[in-house]
């Protein structure tokens, strides 16, 4: 009896282990397959010219330069808008907000902000920035729209990073007569910086990959040149990928994979950057 139950226990242990391992391998295999496939197919066309030339013949020839630059502009615009607001809101929520029902509602709202489908942000941006504020279909309207979406992440990561700073630092600083703001500015914020930066970089990488919102607030199908002002329309990698993959007949297969590869590289490199920032900060703290 005893040995049998031991045996069955060992078998269930082994089975559970096998199931977990299989699940892990499956996940890794899928993402590796996608990445390798895109790299192999896309590498055939991605070269210096592909990155630095404007598209010709409706994207069938030439490069993707305006889309690449447009995506960087969008990331930059998102960062410039979403980071300061995110940090300020994070400071308020972590350091100043009273612990009452209103604060709870605000926190809940921020969490929900992250769950709103991206096309809804797009329509919100169309209604508010494009039409109501009359920014038109433009880089500015798109940056603002993506920034709204990114806020959930920049606020949350800033708040978490600030809360994680030990309370003894705050007490020690106040006890030598520093004001609350001085304590935040000179002691708490520097400690929270890696966490805040990580959140900002991840938010940028998400902005780089979004298609639906920019579709309705200003991404252009094809442009020969770069946007000259924030009120110009723009090209962007994800939307460009969508059009070359779906809308243009006779598009060479290599071009589609090439665009996908560049987009993937941009997004992945920002994700890796975020990881590096986080790991370095952890190592420094010891």
Task: Confirm or reject binding of residue 94 to another protein (CB under 8 A).
Answer: no
Spatial neighbors of 89 by CB under 8 A, at least 6 apart, are: 110, 151, 155, 158, 159
Question: In the set 1, 132, 176, 246, which binds another protein (CB under 8 A)?
Answer: 176
Question: In the set 71, 157, 173, 198, which binds another protein (CB under 8 A)?
Answer: 173
Question: In the set 39, 54, 85, 178, which binds another protein (CB under 8 A)?
Answer: 178
- Least distance from another protein to the Cβ atom of residue 172, Å: 5
Q: Which of residues 181-210 bind another protein (CB under 8 A)?
A: 182, 186-187, 191
Task: Confirm or reject binding of residue 285 to another protein (CB under 8 A).
Answer: yes
Stretch near another protein under the rule CB under 8 A, chosen from 49-57, 62-70, 108-116, 163-171? 163-171
One character per residue 43-82, x = contact with another protein (rule: CB under 8 A) = ----------------------------------------
Task: Confirm or reject binding of residue 17 to another protein (CB under 8 A).
Answer: no
Closer residue to another protein in complex, CB, 95/210: 95
Q: How far apart are CA 192 and CA 11, in angstroms?
A: 47
Stretch near another protein under the rule CB under 8 A, chosen from 4-12, 138-146, 174-182, 212-220? 174-182
Task: Confirm or reject binding of residue 164 to another protein (CB under 8 A).
Answer: no
Label residue 56 left, alpha or beta by phi (over 0 means left) and psi (-120 to 50 means alpha): beta
Spatial neighbors of 202 by CB under 8 A, at least 6 apart, are: 153, 157, 270, 271, 274
Q: How far apart are CA 240 and CA 223, in angstroms?
A: 11
- Least distance from another protein to the Cβ atom of residue 179, Å: 5
Task: Confirm or reject binding of residue 169 to another protein (CB under 8 A).
Answer: yes
One character per residue 99-138, x = contact with another protein (rule: CB under 8 A) = x---------------------------------------
Closer residue to another protein in complex, CB, 132/167: 167
Total residues in contact with another protein, by rule CB under 8 A: 20
Q: How far apart are CA 251 and CA 248, in angstroms?
A: 6
- Least distance from another protein to the Cβ atom of residue 166, Å: 8
Q: How far apart are CA 169 and CA 185, in angstroms?
A: 12
Contact 219, 122 (CB under 8 A): no
Task: Confirm or reject binding of residue 96 to another protein (CB under 8 A).
Answer: no
Query: Which of 207, 274, 217 is CA-nearest to residue 237?
Result: 207
The residues that touch another protein, with contacts defined as CB under 8 A, are 98-99, 166, 168-169, 171-179, 182, 186-187, 191, 285-286
């Amino acid at each position: 009896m005893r040995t049998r139950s031991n045996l069955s226990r060992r078998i269930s242990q082994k089975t559970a282990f096998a199931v977990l391992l299989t699940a892990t391998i499956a996940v890794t295999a899928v993402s590796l397959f996608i990445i390798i496939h895109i790299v192999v197919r896309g590498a055939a066309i991605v070269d210096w010219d592909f990155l630095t030339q404007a598209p010709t013949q409706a994207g069938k020839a030439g490069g993707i330069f305006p889309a690449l630059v447009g995506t960087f502009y969008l990331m930059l615009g998102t960062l410039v808008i979403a980071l300061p607001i995110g940090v300020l809101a994070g400071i308020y929520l972590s350091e100043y907000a009273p612990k009452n029902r209103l604060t709870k509602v605000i926190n809940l709202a921020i969490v929900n902000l992250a769950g709103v489908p991206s096309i809804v942000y797009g329509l919100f941006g169309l209604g508010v920035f494009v039409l109501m504020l009359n920014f038109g279909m433009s880089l500015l309207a798109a940056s603002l729209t993506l920034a709204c979406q990114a806020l959930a992440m920049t606020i949350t990561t800033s708040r978490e990073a600030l809360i994680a700073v030990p309370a003894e630092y705050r007490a020690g600083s106040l006890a030598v007569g520093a004001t609350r703001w001085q304590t935040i500015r000179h002691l708490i914020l520097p400690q929270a910086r890696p966490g805040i930066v990580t959140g900002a970089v991840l938010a940028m990488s998400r902005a780089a990959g979004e298609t639906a919102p920019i579709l309705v607030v200003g991404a252009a199908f094809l442009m020969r040149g770069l946007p000259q002002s924030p009120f110009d329309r723009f090209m962007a990698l994800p939307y460009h990928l969508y059009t070359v993959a779906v809308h243009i007949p006779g598009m060479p297969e290599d071009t589609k994979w090439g665009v996908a590869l560049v987009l993937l590289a941009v997004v992945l490199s920002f994700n890796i950057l975020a990881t590096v920032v986080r790991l370095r900060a952890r190592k420094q703290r010891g």
